[in-house]
Structure 1
Amino acid sequence: MSELQIGLIALGVLFILLVLGFNWWQDHRVRRKMQVHFPGSDQDPLLGDDKPRPQGAVAPAVMAIRREPGMGSGSSETTAPVADNGDDQQEPDPACEVVIDVRFGGPVRGADLQAALIGFHKAGRKAVRVFAETDTQCHRARLRPEESYVSVQLAVLLANRSGPLTAIEWSQAWSRAEDLSERFEGTMEGPDQQAVLEQAAKLDDACAALDTQVGLTLSMSAPQPMVQIIGAAQSLGFVADGIRLVWLSEQNQVCFTLLRADSAAMETGMGATDRLYLLLDVPCSPADPRAFGRMVDVGRGLASRLGADLVDDHGKPLVEGAEASIDERLQVLFQQLDQAGLTAGGERALRVFA
């Protein structure tokens, strides 16, 4: 074999070794970026420190959120409460959200960051909240154009009534984080996808065991104009809330809602209807010893004004005193929700039961 052939073989071997080394380095770099494993905990994030788990609820796996010193939280759209030290008070909720952390190569103007996040409120059907840290280590729940930021956290909802977070939805959130990292020459960290999907499935199972809605129907003999229906409802205390009318507690929390059976908007000038629904969304309503009984009282008052029949889901008139029995059962559910860290009408419950 000639010296030329030996030289060519040696060069070929060297080239192969260089390619293998480069591939190993790339793989190692990607793994460090994408597969950061978070520590577990013996405490169930859906349960309080010393509260028992409700029967039938499945505890989600714990996934801790990496917190930098001074790192805050909140939404990019809503105005958040501000603490005495100038930090926004809202934070990611590890019981129902998972976080992707993006740290920039240098301070980024708030206006530029807002522009990069335009339209990013959801990943599929899961809400995404944006939290940020300023270059002065202040927590932010709302991006401010005049400030500069050194990092953001994308808090992705793990489950809601559309089901658990899916691989596609997680990929959408991850891709958006990658875009931010590349645009602002940063680095990113987040949990392993399989761990996220497992946590989402467990949270969804726990919520499904506690998800209850109770309804009543107002049936009229003939369609009545919406202006007349709305007037009667408002005289009893209902107020407008989007396409529905809601009955509020003294703390301005939604207790139950009034809807058209055809799902059309409850607006003046929207024709007429002969059927309405009263709906008590238990996890999203504040705990009340007479939650159902109060809806029945209001429903009977509205039925009287509209000349309607108040019936249950099966179209049968309510049995006198049945509301007391239902309220007793609802108290058990309110207690289970509270034990699971999903206090009825609370912020966490409103997120996962949306």
Structure 2
Amino acid sequence: MSDLQIGLIALGVLLILLVLGFNWWQDRRVRRKMQTHFPASEQDPLLGAGLGAGAGAPAPSRREPGMGGESAAHLPAEPAAAPGSDADDAEEPDPATEVVIEVHFSEPARGADLLPYMQSLRHVGRKPMRVFATTDQGRHRARLHAAESYGAMQLAVLLANRSGPLTAIEWSQAWARAQDLAERFDATIEGPDQQAVLEQAARLDDTCAALDTQVGLTLLLHQAQPAAEVLNIARDAGFAAEGNRLLWPAEDGAIRFTLSRADGAAFDAGMGGIERLYLLLDVPCAPADPRAFGRMVDVGRDLAARLRADLVDDQGKPLADGAEKVIDERLQVLFGQLEQAGLPAGSARAQRVFA
């Protein structure tokens, strides 16, 4: 090998090391900037290196809802400050489950001009986005008001949900929307490196997949009954309607479990009869309860008596005596694991990622 070849090889190695060093420095600089906006909390397991109980372990395949589709997040509304108020809104981006793109306007932008653009900032692919803003007076807003002007905005993109982790395409779409916003309103944008985002999304998805559990029961009606009659009986039993399903609410309004038709249709859709109903306990999205499953069994048995139906498990077998107690004991372990992972059952954070 000639001296020229050796020299070229050495030069190539040096250039590669310089590129790797520059990328490391750039990633470190961006992370430091983001941490100034969202300092890590020592009390939040999801913000730690291990990402909760599921980190480092082999990730099982994500278990999708077994009884009628994904459950929608039922998030309580945070109180919002009135337009022009000196108070800050309480709701903020969640750095443990969302990645934030910062938008800084060269001149304050009017809320009335920004609001028509908000429709395009609700989703990227199958991941929801939340929009936050800082007024020209330095007040934090969880929603924009036409009468205010804003010096900056934050676009918070969910890192993972039941559709899987945030993908490179979804992140690129979010970045493209931020760039479009910046071009329209003369702004600059800042955000973390794509690879760091995708790695964080994958870790969160692994954690959620390890904890995602749903428990179902089936009501087999002895004969088909009109949907309107079934709906009235369910309402009399204590269910409340929401979209195509019925909800069993807790005292604070949170959803304990749901009731849906086997065909997924709304209870007031069509004239055909109903022969099968599904009860579903979405464990991460329901409030922690020592009798989470037992409570659903009690309601299911009452509903079965009202509808002249048989209550069976998701394998089509009658419930064994004491089965609810055994399952509730297992669910208490899962509730504890969710808490340790920084995803308390029924919390707004859990409902975002388990949707």
Please, what TM-score do these two structures have when normalized by structure 1? 0.80
Who is 2:61 aligned against? none
Matched letter for residue 37 of structure 1 = V
Change in CA separation of 1:54 and 1:174 when aligned onto 2, cut-off 3 Å: closer
Q: How does 1:34-53 map to 2 (within 5 A)?
A: 37-39=30-32, 47=45
Q: Does 1:92 align with 2:93?
A: yes
Corresponding residue for 2:22?
none
Q: Is the 8 A contact 2:78 2:90 kept in 1?
A: no
| Conservation of the 8 A alpha-carbon contact between 1:36 and 1:190 | no
Cα–Cα, structure 1 residues 106 and 267, in superposed 2: closer, same or farther, change >3 Å?
same
Deviation (angstroms), 1:116 = 2.3
Give % identity: 61
Q: Which residue of structure 1 lines up, in the alignment, with residue 256 of structure 2?
A: 255
Structure 2 unaligned segments of length 5 or more: list them. 1-24, 58-76
* Alignment-derived partner of residue 272 in structure 2: 271
3-state secondary structure, aligned to 1:317? coil
May I ask how many residue pairs the two structures share in their alignment?
305
> C-alpha displacement at 1:344, in angstroms?
0.5
Residue deviations 1:236-264 (CA, integer Å, cap 9, x gap): 11000111000001111000000111111
- Distance in 2 separating the partners of 1:169 and 1:35: 23
Residue 244 of structure 1 aligns with an amino acid whose one-letter code is R
Distance 1:46 1:158, change over 3 A: farther
What is the letter of the counterpart of residue 321 of structure 1?
A: G
Partner of 2:144: 143
Instruction: Check conservation: 1:80, 1:142, Cα contact below 8 A.
Output: no
Specify the alignment match of 1:205 in structure 2: 206
Contact 2:51 2:207 in 1 (8 A): no
Partner of 1:82: 81
| Shift, 1:81, TM fit | 2.9
Q: Is the 8 A contact 2:228 2:267 kept in 1?
A: no
CA–CA separation in structure 2 for the residues paired with 1:346 and 1:48: 14
1:126 aligns with 2:127: yes
Say which SS state the counterpart of residue 81 (structure 1) adopts.
coil
SS in 2 for 1:38: helix
Write out per-residue CA displacement over residues 275-324 of structure 1, whole angstroms, 9 at most, x where no aligned residue.
00000000000000000000000000000111111000110000111100
Q: Please give the per-residue CA displacement for 1:132-171, whole angstroms capped at 9, x wherever unaligned.
A: 0111111111100011111100000000000000011001
- Give the structure 2 partner of residue 289 of structure 1: 290
Q: Is the 8 A contact 1:227 1:269 kept in 2?
A: no
Larger Rg: 1
Kindly report which structure 2 residues correspond to 1:131-280, keeping only aligned pairs within 5 A, or say none. 131-267=132-268, 270-280=271-281
Secondary structure in 2 aligned to 1:137? coil
Higher relative contact order (CA 8 A, sep 6+): 2
Q: Which stretch shifts more, 225-234 or 152-161?
A: 225-234
Cα displacement (A) at 1:117: 2.2
Q: Contact 2:97–2:159 (CA<8 Å) still a contact in 1?
A: yes
With the length of structure 2 as denominator, give the TM-score of the two structures: 0.80
* 1:300-319 matched pairs, under 5 angstroms: 300-319=301-320
> Given residue 333 of structure 1, which amino acid in structure 2 is its aligned partner?
L
For 2:56 and 2:203, the matched residues in 1 are separated by 6
1:278 partner letter: L
Structure 2 vs 1, CA of residues 54 and 86 (structure 1 numbering), >3 Å: closer, same or farther?
A: closer
For 1:145, give the aligned amino acid: A
Cα pair 1:236 1:302 within 8 Å, conserved: yes
Unaligned runs of 5+ in 1: 1-31, 60-77
Per the TM alignment, residue 223 of structure 1 is displaced from its structure 2 partner at its CA by 1.4
Alpha-carbon distance, 1:231 to partner: 1.3
Match of 1:249, as an amino acid? A
3-state SS, counterpart of residue 299 of structure 1? helix
Query: For residue 113 of structure 2, what is the aligned residue in structure 1?
Result: 112
**Cross-structure match for 2:3:** none
The 8 Å contact of residues 287 and 334 in structure 1, kept in 2 or not, is answered as: yes
1:125–1:49 Cα change, 3 Å: closer
The code of the aligned residue for 1:233 comes to A
1:330 equivalent to 2:314? Answer no
Contact 1:57/1:209, CA 8 A, preserved across alignment = no
Q: Alignment partner of 1:82: what SS? A: coil
Q: Which moves more between the two structures, 37-46 or 308-317? A: 37-46
RMSD: 2.7
SS in 2 for 1:117: helix
Say whether the 8 Å CA contact 1:45–1:94 is kept in structure 2.
Answer: no
Q: Which residue of 2 aligns with 1:19?
A: none
Contact 1:156 1:173 in 2 (8 A): yes
Q: Which amino acid aligns with 1:235?
A: D
